[in-house]
Amino acid sequence: MKNNLYVDIHVLQNVPPSCINRDDTGSPKTAKYGGAVRSRVSSQAWKHEMRKMFKEILSKEEVGVRTKKVTQMIADAVKGIDSGLEDEKVNKLVSDALKSAGIKTDKDGLSPVLMFFSAAQAQSLARLTIHGSKDKKEYQNVLKTAPSIDMALFGRMVAADPSLNFDAAAQVAHAISTHTVHNEYDYFTAVDDLSQDEESGAGHLGTVEFNSATLYRYATVNIVELQKNLGGQTADAVKCFAEAFIKTMPTGKQNTFANRTLPDFVYITLRTDQPVNLVGAFEKPVSGVNGYLEESENRFKAYADTMYKKFACAPERIWQFGELDILQILEGVKSAVEEKISESRGE
């Protein structure tokens, strides 16, 4: 495989009145770009929804667990291997094992930070626990191998022991609107169902802040880095990532606004030089005289053509929604990645 190989995913998506990602005051997140206020959805919010979808489209063994309940997780894995062990014995084994592994826990069995484990890593830790291993290196070796698909994509950071880190093979940008936004307020009231006729007024009133936007969303996957950690699962992982990125949406205030939409425009490329975020197409806000989507799509295509001619290399492959349906795009991306991997092996 070439030293540089990336799958870039670009999405334009219309979102009606909504508040899908809030700041600490409850307001929809925003950012200034090109001197204009834009609607913003954080990458963390979208990655959280993607990890939830992974659980639907991948097997349990392919998805990791991120938790502070380390003692409980290892104890459950131990019982899954040897159900005949008594709870007291299991708790003692797990406590000793975590100490040997250098994983700190409090009196309730919780680690001070979230720990990220793949199913394979949890099973291997459980086996070492049953065997009563005291060798920290054995535990570390287990935690350095067999990452789950989401761990390989999004990475793992262990501040207490950087040798256990996994570099993220994927990056997700904060989504921003292609145009200027102005947050609005919805004033609402709720009626007390048991109020008497002579009792006037609402039982509750309040406001909720919202906006609507045409979002530009971008993500990229480093295929070489992913292949290093996942091997034969790489092509499936890329397809899974693309599907989850395209189909998910953060769920903030969803019951209030019912804002579930799907992308209006999807453009995926296979690049052999470097990832290219094309948000520069919207540095000057789209005017929106006749809506934002059509002009946003035209701006995006024109900017991409300009970048390919004057700066970055043209992609090796392009898949575009409209010319192909989403299933064809996902299968095409998977096949192209498999083809590149085969070429690197000389097959």
User: Three-state secondary structure along the chain?
Assistant: CCCCCEEEEEEEEEEEEECCCECCCCCECEEEECCEEEEEECHHHHHHHHHHHHHHHCCHHHCCEEECCHHHHHHHHHHHHCCCCCHHHHHHHHHHHHHHHCCCCCCCCCCCCCEEECHHHHHHHHHHHHHCCCCHHHHHHHHCCCCCHHHHHHCECCCCCHHHCECCCEEECCEEECCCCCCEEEEEEECCCCCCCCCCCCCEEEEEEEEEEEEEEEEEEEHHHHHHHHHHHHHHHHHHHHHHHHHCCCCCCHHHHCCCCCCCEEEEEEECCCCCCCHHHHCCCCCCECECHHHHHHHHHHHHHHHHHHCCCCCCEEEEECCECHHHHHHHHHHHHHHHHHHHCCC
Diameter of the chain by CA atoms?
A: 84
Angle between the N-to-C axes of helices 136-143 and 87-101, in degrees from 0 to 180, rounded to the nearest 10: 90
In this prediction, residue 290 carries a pLDDT of 86
pTM of the model: 0.92
* Residues sharing a CB contact under 8 Å with residue 305, sequence separation 6 or more, in sequence order: none
In this prediction, residue 2 carries a pLDDT of 57
CA 266, CA 333: separation in Å to the nearest integer? 13
Nearest alpha carbon to residue 335 among 268, 288, 278: 268
The vertex-40 CA angle with 298 and 265, nearest 5°, equals 30
Cβ atoms of residues 275 and 77 within 8 Å = no
CA 102, CA 42: separation in Å to the nearest integer? 33
Angle between the N-to-C axes of helices 234-247 and 43-57, in degrees from 0 to 180, rounded to the nearest 10: 120
In this prediction, residue 189 carries a pLDDT of 75
Burial of 287 (0-12, 13-18, 19+ CB in 10 A): exposed
Per-residue pLDDT of the chain (347 residues; tens, 9 = 90+): 557 899 999 999 999 999 999 999 889 999 999 999 999 999 999 999 999 999 999 999 999 999 999 999 999 999 999 888 888 899 889 988 888 888 888 988 899 989 999 999 999 999 999 988 888 899 889 999 999 999 999 999 888 788 888 999 999 999 999 999 999 998 887 888 877 776 677 777 788 999 999 999 999 999 999 999 999 999 999 999 999 999 999 999 999 999 999 999 999 999 999 999 999 999 999 998 889 999 999 999 999 999 999 999 999 999 999 878 999 999 999 999 999 998 877 65
Burial of 156 (0-12, 13-18, 19+ CB in 10 A): buried
In this prediction, residue 68 carries a pLDDT of 94
Burial of 75 (0-12, 13-18, 19+ CB in 10 A): buried
Query: End-to-end distance of the chain based on CA atoms, in angstroms?
Result: 11
Cβ atoms of residues 198 and 115 within 8 Å = no
CA 79, CA 57: separation in Å to the nearest integer? 27
